[in-house]
Every structure is written in structure tokens, then in C-alpha cells.
Amino acid sequence: MRKQDLNPILHSFSGLLLDLNGTFMFGQDRFGPNEDYYATYRSVGGAGLAEAELRRAIDSCFAELDRISKDVAHHDSFPSVAEALLTFPETCHLSDYERSWVESVYAYHEVGQVSMAYSTVLQELARTYRLGLVSNIWSRKEIFVLELKRAGVLQLFSTLVFSSDGMSIKPSPVLFEQAVTELDLPTQEVAMIGDSLRCDVGGAAAAGLASVWINAKGEAVPIDVPKPTYTIHDLQELVARE
């Protein structure tokens, strides 16, 4: 697909950074009272915790990381799931080996899937643009990388920037600046695409990047947040033919 055949909002860019969850990966963050954490735990090899203990550990970890992810003071000092598990009474006493199974349960419930439809979109974009990934994930990246590989899109990205590789999370500009550096393109030639006004649009603005907001629900933009450069309803609009 030629650039002129793609959505005109992309014509002035050479590189695109993409968010992951809610942008082209869906069915992620399966946390809550209806999730069977214990079945996942046993399937990955865990055996040291009772079901109620495991649920308290996973729920406590999710609640705490969700809370501090919204605190600007932690945007460049964000703990990993493994570090968080060291602070909870249900898991701090466990061996590193056993605690790793709890971490695996969290990862399996955090990761989603990339469907064929979105794999096709990424393949179309990659024919014209240099692609990068900038994703907030709280687990280690390996399970997410495996899903990208399964979907046939891993090789499409010139750079993969996962927050869990370091201590910064979006909307900190640190992740965006790293991705732009690794794309080896001028900032003005790169746009960030994502579904979060706070994390994706706000982080892009802080890094001096244009942004494409995926507004799937047709929400109004609050007056107190950075405004996206462009707005679409779904990633597929970027390659939709007239």
C-alpha cells in the first residue's frame, strides 16, 4: 500500500509509535472477582498458595499498581509486579521460585490477543512507515512478545519499548524519547497512536510528538488534558480504503 492510499492524517510522518493494549491488542487485564486465578496458577506450576491467598495477592497487586500508576510522582519510579509482590503479606514470605509462579499468573491475566484484523492493519502500515511500540505493561515482557510473535507482527517493529523493562511508565516522556531515538527519525516525523488521552496523547505531547487518539467510545476531550493532533475511532481507519 502506498502512502497516498493510507489515511491522509499520516502523510506527513515517516514513523509511527503504537500503544498496545486497547489499540491493537484486546482482551487484556482480566482481573476481578470472576477470574479464576487459581486455575491459571495450577496450570503454570504453582502449588504453594491456597486459592484465597492467591486471590488476595493478585487483587492487592493490581489495586496497588493501578493506584500508583495515576500518581505523577511514580511515573519514573514505577515498581515491577515482582517488586510489588515483595511487599504483600501473602507473597513476601515465599521463595523467589514460588513467587515467580504468582508473577506468571499476573502476566497471563494481563496479556491480551492480537486478532488477524489488527495484524493486517500493522502489516499494511509497516509497508510504508517505520513502526515502534510504546507500551505500559506491569509484567515482564516475554509473554507479550510471544503474543506478538504468534500474531505474526513482532518483526514489523523497529523498536519495542515496554515500561516493565525499566522504571518509567507513560505518560512519562522517557519511553517516547527512547522509542524515537531507536527509530532514528526526527521528532517531527513521528506520531504516537493510542487509546489513552492521559498516557498516549499526554505522553506524546510531553515528548514533542504529534498524536492520533483512538476514541472508540466517542468521548469528549476534557479541557484540562493535552489535545490530540488527530482523532479516529479505530486503528483500522488508518488503512481503510474508500
Which residue blocks in the chain are alpha helix, DSSP H?
37-44, 51-69, 81-85, 96-110, 116-126, 142-150, 173-183, 202-206
Same domain as 20, residue 46: no
Task: Name the pTM for this structure.
Answer: 0.94
In a domain, 71, yes or no: yes
- CA separation, residue 8 to residues 141, 212, 239, 240 (Å): 33, 12, 10, 11
Q: What is the mean pLDDT of residues 36-61?
A: 93
Distance CA 6, CA 2 (A): 7
Residue-wise pLDDT tens digits, 49-94: 899 999 999 999 999 999 999 999 999 999 999 999 998 888 888 8
Does the pLDDT of residue 238 top 60, yes or no?
Answer: yes
CA-nearest of 99, 111, 112, 102 to 41 is 102
Structural domains in the chain (count)? 2
For residue 192, what are the domain limits? 3-26+112-238
pLDDT band for 160, please (50, 70, 90 cuts).
Answer: very high
Rg for the chain (alpha carbons), in Å? 19
> Distance from first CA to last CA of the chain, Å, rounded?
13
Of the residues 49, 82, 110, which one is the last residue of a structural domain? Answer: 110
**Position 106 in a domain:** yes
| Interval 137-149: pLDDT, tens | 999 999 999 999 9
Residues in the chain: 242
Q: Are residues 136 and 159 in the same domain?
A: yes
Last residue of a domain, one of 75, 110, 145: 110
- Nearest of 194, 197, 192, 195 to residue 222 by alpha carbon: 197
pLDDT in tens, 207-234: 999 999 999 999 888 888 899 999 999 9
Q: Is residue 31 part of a domain?
A: no
The predicted pLDDT at position 222 comes to 87
CATH assignment at residue 16: 3.40.50.1000
The verdict on 106 and 138 lying in the same domain is no
In a domain, 48, yes or no: yes
